Amino acid sequence: MKPEPPPLPGTYAVLFAAPRPVRRRIGRLGTLEAPAGYALYIGSARGPGGLAARLERHRAGTGPRRWHVDYLRGAAKVVEVWFATGSAGSECEWAAAAAALRGACVPLMGFGSSDCRCPAHLVWFRRKPAARALLRRLRRVSPGHPPLRVIRAG
């Protein structure tokens, strides 16, 4: 049986694989242009259903385009989901830690960060990043950060 995220609040990262270069208009934000590789989208789930509901929506790739990440449909597929429950670490801390990883770049300023001051909550990599690398970065700014749980798609 595949592990599932709990219906609790928390912070998450969805890792997408894009086998070809991506060029997508993202609403009024502009055009996302990125090489083939991996996109790491960071968010939080604080509403009804918590992580389980939010991550199921991202993994299913259905529903109206409500968030910037919804525009990745058809260009990239979910390969992993990383998450931590509770209030340990915010999505902004996670986005900063992800952007500091080796090989990271921000392909479109403002992606996923319209409600905060972060440059973006989407980070792009040519090679697949590891959850443990993100956790090491998070623990530098937030000692005692709980481990990240990883769910692989498929």
Predicted confidence pLDDT, tens digits, the chain (154 residues):
456 888 899 999 999 999 999 999 998 899 999 999 999 999 999 888 889 988 887 777 777 888 899 989 889 999 999 999 987 568 999 999 999 999 999 999 999 998 899 999 999 999 999 999 999 999 998 888 888 999 998 6
pTM, 2 dp: 0.92
Measured CA to CA in angstroms, residue 141 lies from 12, 90, 135 at distances of 17, 11, 10
